[in-house]
Amino acid sequence: DTAVSQTPKYLVTQMGNDKSIKCEQNLGHDTMYWYKQDSKKFLKIMFSYNNKELIINETVPNRFSPKSPDKAHLNLHINSLELGDSAVYFCASSQEGRGIQQPQHFGDGTRLSIL
Amino acid sequence: GESVGLHLPTLSVQEGDNSIINCAYSNSASDYFIWYKQESGKGPQFIIDIRSNMDKRQGQRVTVLLNKTVKHLSLQIAATQPGDSAVYFCAEDLSSNTGKLIFGQGTTLQVKP
Please report, rounded to a whole number, the percentage of residues in chain B having pLDDT higher than 70.
Answer: 89
Alpha-carbon distance of A14 to A82, in angstroms, equals 9
Distance in Å, alpha carbon of B12 to nearest chain A alpha carbon: 19
Domains of chain A: residue spans and CATH: 4-97+105-114 (2.60.40.10)
Alpha-carbon distance of A94 to A105, in angstroms, equals 6
pLDDT digits (tens, 9 = 90+) for B10-30: 999 999 999 999 999 988 889
Side-chain half-sphere CA neighbours of B64 within 13 A: 24
pLDDT digits (tens, 9 = 90+) for A17-62: 999 999 999 999 999 999 999 998 999 999 998 888 888 888 788 9
Cβ proximity of B106 and B48 under 8 Å? no
- Of A32, A97, A94, give the one whose Cα is nearest residue A69: A32
- Of A75, A76, A48, A53, give the one whose Cα is nearest residue A63: A76
Interface of chain A against chain B, CB under 8 Å? Answer: 4, 31, 33, 40-45, 48, 55-56, 90, 92, 94, 96, 99-101, 103-109
Distance in Å, alpha carbon of A33 to nearest chain B alpha carbon: 9
Domains of chain B: residue spans and CATH: 4-112 (2.60.40.10)
Mean model confidence pLDDT for chain B: 90
